């Protein structure tokens, strides 16, 4: 009788062990899907970041096994309410309300992501950071040859493929978009920070940075270069002067948002002499300066409340053509091409807030950025996070629209990675 009981107990124990093993495998899969293992895919499918964010949040909620808790009010909710209320005076009220709803959904995803990130264990963070570092390195090794040898690749394809239409498509095709290079730049800060903190050889970090700079220069992405240099500079300052740099960012970034129209006015008012005096000045930036010039004029018309959330495409005169003088190396005289005053958005997040939400929205966004810096830069080892924040802000001020879905989703994912690799020792906390 005792032998039968012992046998049953052994069988029950074996079943339990198999159950625990299955559960462990399931947990590992859920944890893996919260990492940047998608990065090699995202460099080709940059618009897929929203799907990746949804997957990461859902898997994270199942993994941490705790009920979601949202704060009823925070600074980002204030910005959402500001955008929704702007529909009252918006020139396209339906568009403003629709964008406010989309922003609310993104804030729900962000709330879920914050909930998950705050419940990762130290082992979880190490695992996620290591996976992200490997995915980043694989992505860099994929991108480098494609951007460096883009011309040779196109020449080979044109020679091999039949049909003139196919050849014409290949000539304008980019194997790797500038957005992919920007993705590598933004994620470099947390993942290289992880490599440094875990004692990786300096040669490894140095070669990674050399490869990243090579990819940036080969891609001719001014936005990526601006973000990378600005982020690395702030990271260096944060390591050397931690408390002073944190205080400087707490004041400087919100004030830069407030003063953005004044800061860009000297550039936007008359860009052609600047373009002629600076060697290799990117022609795409000349058009961007014209966009800023037009945006500044529209801001002056409605400085307090703006034109309404997500109304950039509907601003009066935005689709009107304006002659843009592009500097070319083969001629002393620039070539002239007509471009729209405001084709999509101002390519500057701060100017877009001024344009769409006015001073009221700018104050709300300043408060949100101030709060972000106060809560994220609290430890002496937060140099990579400081570099990440400045890199994102720098790119936001020269490239993307305020509410671009793929860009917002990517920022959220990259922030989660930065939290995974960041320090957690309470003794390293700074004195405020």
- Helices 283-301 & 242-269, crossing angle to 10 degrees? 90
Report residue 54 as tokens: 């949804």
pLDDT tens, position by position, 287-326: 788 889 899 999 999 999 999 999 998 899 888 877 776 6
The confidence score (pLDDT) of residue 203 equals: 85
At residue 182, does pLDDT exceed 60? yes
Instruction: Identify the top-confidence range among 187-201, 221-235, 325-339.
Output: 221-235
Q: Is the pLDDT of residue 412 over 80?
A: yes
Model confidence pLDDT, tens digit, residues 91-147: 999 999 999 999 999 999 999 999 999 999 999 999 999 999 999 999 999 999 999
The C-alpha angle 398, 290, 171, rounded to 5 degrees, equals 70
Residue 24 lies in a domain: no
Does 300 map to a domain?
A: no
- The first and second tokens of residue 247, run together, are 């205080």
Let me know if residue 11 belongs to a domain.
no
In-domain check, residue 225: yes
22 has pLDDT over 70: no
Distance CA 326, CA 72 (A): 50
| DSSP state letters, 232-301 | HHHHHHHHHSHHHHHHHHHHHHHHHHHHHHHHHHHHHHSHHHHHHHSTT--HHHHHHHHHHHHHHHHHHH
Mean pLDDT of 49-77: 84
* Domain-embedded: residue 169: yes
pLDDT of residue 189 exceeding 70, the answer is: yes
Sequence-distant (≥ 6) Cβ neighbours of residue 305 within 8 angstroms: 86, 89, 357, 358, 359, 360
Total number of domains in the chain:
1
Residue 285 located in a structural domain = no
CB 102 within 8 A of CB 405: yes
Is 280 among the domain residues? no
Res 28: pLDDT: 86
Q: What is the pTM of this model?
A: 0.88
- Residues 46, 183 contacting (CB under 8 angstroms): yes
In which domain, by residue range, is 174 found?
39-265+347-425
61, part of any domain: yes
Report yes or no: 389 and 249 within 8 Å, Cβ to Cβ.
yes
Q: What percent of the chain has pLDDT over 70?
A: 85
Query: Cα 159–163–169 angle (5° rounding)?
Result: 80
What b-and-e string marks burial along 116-152, b requiring 16 or more CB atoms within 10 Å of the CB?
bbeebeeebbebbbbbbbbbbbebbebbbebbeebee
Give the per-residue pLDDT at 75: 73
Mention every residue, 6+ apart, whose C-beta is less than 8 A from residue 297.
none
């Amino acid at each position: 009788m005792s032998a039968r009981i012992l046998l049953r107990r052994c069988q029950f124990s074996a079943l339990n062990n198999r159950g625990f093993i299955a559960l462990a495998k399931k947990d590992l899969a859920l944890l893996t899907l919260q990492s940047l293992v998608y990065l090699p895919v995202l460099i080709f499918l940059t618009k897929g970041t929203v799907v990746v964010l949804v997957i990461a949040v859902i898997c994270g909620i199942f993994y941490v096994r705790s009920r979601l808790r949202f704060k009823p009010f925070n600074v980002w909710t204030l910005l959402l309410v500001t955008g929704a209320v702007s529909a009252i005076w918006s020139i396209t009220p339906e568009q403003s309300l629709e964008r406010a709803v989309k922003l609310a959904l993104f804030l729900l995803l962000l709330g879920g992501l914050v909930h998950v990130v705050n419940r990762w264990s130290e082992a979880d963070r190490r695992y996620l950071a290591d996976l992200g570092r490997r995915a980043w390195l694989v992505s860099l090794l994929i991108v480098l040859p494609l951007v460096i040898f883009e011309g040779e690749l196109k020449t080979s394809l044109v020679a091999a493929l039949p049909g003139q239409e196919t050849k014409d498509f290949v000539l304008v095709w980019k194997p790797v978009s500038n957005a992919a290079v920007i993705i590598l730049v933004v994620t470099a800060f947390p993942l290289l920070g992880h490599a440094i903190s875990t004692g990786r050889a300096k040669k490894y970090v140095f070669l990674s940075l050399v490869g990243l700079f090579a990819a940036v220069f080969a891609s001719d992405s001014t936005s990526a270069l601006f973000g990378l240099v600005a982020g690395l500079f702030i990271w260096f300052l944060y390591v050397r002067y931690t408390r002073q740099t944190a205080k400087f960012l707490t004041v400087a970034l919100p004030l830069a948002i407030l003063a953005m129209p004044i800061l860009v006015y000297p550039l936007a008012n008359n860009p052609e002499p600047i373009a002629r005096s600076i060697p290799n000045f990117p022609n795409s930036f000349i058009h961007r300066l014209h966009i800023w010039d037009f945006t500044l004029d529209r801001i002056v018309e409605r400085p307090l409340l703006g034109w309404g959330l997500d109304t950039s495409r509907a601003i009066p005169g935005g689709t009107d053509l304006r002659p843009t003088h592009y500097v070319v190396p083969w001629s002393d005289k620039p070539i002239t091409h007509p471009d729209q005053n405001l084709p999509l958005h101002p390519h500057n997040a701060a100017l877009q807030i001024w344009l769409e939400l006015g001073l009221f929205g700018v104050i709300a966004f300043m408060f949100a950025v101030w709060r972000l810096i106060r809560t994220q830069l609290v430890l002496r080892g937060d140099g990579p996070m400081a570099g990440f924040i400045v890199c994102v802000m720098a790119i936001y001020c020269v490239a993307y629209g305020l509410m671009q879905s793929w860009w917002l989703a990517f920022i959220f994912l990259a922030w989660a990675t930065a939290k995974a690799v960041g320090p957690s020792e309470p003794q390293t906390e700074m004195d405020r």
